[in-house]
A and B are shown apart, each in its own frame.
Chain A
Amino acid sequence: MAQAVAQTIHRDPALFYWILFPITVVMILTGILRHYATVLMQSTPKKLDAKAIREQRCLLRGINLRTNASVLSPQSFQARKAYFISSYHSGKFLKEPENKGKPPPNPMTDPAGMEAMMGMMKGNMAMMIPQTLIMSWINAFFSGFIIMKLPFPLTIRFKSMLQSGVATQDLDVRWVSSLSWYFLNLFGLQSVFTFILGDDNAANQMAQQMAQVNPAAAANLFQPGQDPDKVFQSEAENLEVLEHEWILEGVEDRLLEDLA
């Protein structure tokens, strides 16, 4: 069987100037716009009040004691352990000691939870609205065009990726449709944005999606809707079962062995 004749399609060069090029430019510009829009919309993290700070850091202190207990002598450790367990149980460190034992507030009505959700909404909106607009724009004006040919052969599996919007069975996979060019741009412009906007830009949608999984985790030890009292109780339990060993025990022999 003779080699298959390479498909040739005569394209108007205007396709390049009026479709391929505009789509690319528009994609880059929206990326930059989105970056600055996100920067503008970012709300400064809300300051915690003194009680909330105390609640979180007292828990952190207990965790520190648990992880680094080995630096303490047995007497100091026992004294601290007893103090933490009793005060964790009594709810001494709680932001609102009178609320101990009550069910946690509904995250939907909790203002702190609402704020976090608003932040997430804003991020999502900045992503969704321009994407929807551009996609409908491309669909309305440029759908169904074959605009370029890739210089290398591809397997048939790429057909759905490269030729969306062009329902032609026999077309070679190397031809790229306008709608697919949009998708390629959407996912492939990351390095361009890094070049233009610097490393931690907000135009990079992958990074943004990752960040959305848990935006407040670093700032806030307690998830919204979580009962701090429960966290304190479980930390008290952790401390109770902790086995203590003093690292200074026999340090002089260790050191001599080390130096010798």
Chain B
Amino acid sequence: MSSKYEKQEELQSKQDDASLASSADVCSYLMSSPLLHPPAYLSPSLALRISQQAPLLLQGSSSSFTLPFLSSGESPERWTAYEHLLLSCLRIGDDKSARLCLEKLGDRFGATNERVMGLKGMYQEAVADDNAALERILKEYEAILVEDPTNMPIAKRRIAVLRSMSQIEAAISALVKLLDMSPTDAEAWSELSDLYLSQGLYRQAIFSLEEVLLITPNAWNIHARMGELIFISSNASASADDVDVEKSLIDSMRWFCRSIELCDDYLRGYYGLKLIYFQTSNRLLLSQKYKNTSASDISGPDGTAQPSLTTIQRLNQQATAKLSEIVRKSSTGDKAWDGYAQAEVIAARELLGRDEQFAER
């Protein structure tokens, strides 16, 4: 899909040809590979590629006692790589290699290490083939949690299992309990927000996302997500007061603006801006107070300054320009522009097409 990954893949296949027999080679291979990135960010083809090499990588023996000047020794990267390899293998379905990774991690850190316990749980979930097996795993998790309620990885695995068995209410209450103990966990808050959204509880979802923002105040993706949430909630409450909807649309636009302010090239931010314009332009043009006023700012119902129509239009122009640039450059395979997910680029192209129809009308 993207040229950068293809390059990496080419490189890897070249490295495959060279023998990876000695463990030093394996070590240096581990250091340089994309294995150090969390596997969720890898494209499917690259994840496949990585996990296919798993048997080769896992052959290398690991000695536990070394002097640093005699060998490269043990480095944190090595274990990070094993962890990510495990996740990639599970994603592809190579359970045998995943088992090997897990054994290596277990040998090094001990089976009672919380993180290893979490990974082991993930492996068991992956090889479980029916609901009864999942139930059994759930029981195991609960037994562990009774013994040690502070075991975060297991607590989170339990929530994930509950969610995958579509016991959403149980998952939410477990998450709330977890967050009562550890309210500075951004991951848990965003998961909670997602769960609430799936239940249509918009206010709660927005509250949870605000907590995420308090922990990571510069995360542009969370800002854009907040914009999306508010947008969705305003759409869902179609019967509500027009003024309310208008206000939340403006709020949502501001969140998108902030996310672009934090990250210049964030596709979702621009996409949101453009989407908001479609929604607002009809509404605001009809709205009474925009008819009479010109460029000057208008006071909203709660006293905060509302952006003028011209501001919204100019933002739309900027978003259109940027989106078409992104679509153009990433479809021609420009090196510097290949970081966008394909689905997002396609959606942006579709939105731009809608814009043209809109203009024709």
- Give me the interface of A with B, judged by CB distance under 8 Å: 47-50, 53-54, 57-58, 60-61, 64-65, 67-73, 76, 195-198, 247-256, 258-259
> Is the Cβ of A198 less than 8 Å from the Cβ of B68?
yes
> Is the Cβ of B261 less than 8 Å from the Cβ of A195?
no
| Given A70-B217, A258-B261: A76 in contact with B254 (beta carbons within 8 A) | no
A259 to B260 CA separation, bound complex (whole angstroms): 10
| Given A47-B150, A53-B150, A251-B257: A256 in contact with B318 (beta carbons within 8 A) | yes
- Give me the interface of B with A, judged by CB distance under 8 Å: 67-69, 73, 148-150, 180-184, 207, 210, 213-215, 217, 251, 253-255, 257-258, 260-261, 304-305, 307, 311-312, 314-315, 318
Contacts of B255 in A (CB 8 A): 248
Interchain nearest-CB distance for B190 vs A (Å): 14
| Given A49-B150, A57-B182: A71 in contact with B253 (beta carbons within 8 A) | no
Interchain nearest-CB distance for B119 vs A (Å): 19
| Given A76-B210, A256-B315: A53 in contact with B68 (beta carbons within 8 A) | no
Contacts of A70 in B (CB 8 A): 217
Contacts of A249 in B (CB 8 A): 304-305
Interchain nearest-CB distance for A57 vs B (Å): 5
| Given A198-B73, A252-B307: A64 in contact with B257 (beta carbons within 8 A) | no
| Given A196-B68, A252-B307, A255-B261: A57 in contact with B315 (beta carbons within 8 A) | no
> Is the Cβ of B183 less than 8 Å from the Cβ of A252?
no
> Is the Cβ of A54 less than 8 Å from the Cβ of B182?
yes
> Is the Cβ of A251 less than 8 Å from the Cβ of B182?
no
Interchain nearest-CB distance for B39 vs A (Å): 28
Task: Contacts A71-B214, A196-B68 known; list 17 others, CB within 8 Å.
Answer: A50-B149, A60-B183, A60-B184, A61-B183, A61-B214, A64-B184, A65-B214, A69-B214, A71-B210, A72-B213, A76-B207, A248-B254, A248-B258, A251-B261, A254-B257, A256-B311, A256-B315
24 chain-A/chain-B pairs, Cβ below 8 angstroms: A47-B150, A49-B150, A53-B150, A53-B181, A54-B181, A57-B181, A57-B184, A58-B183, A60-B184, A64-B215, A71-B217, A72-B213, A76-B207, A195-B69, A198-B68, A248-B254, A248-B258, A252-B307, A252-B311, A252-B315, A253-B311, A254-B257, A255-B261, A256-B311
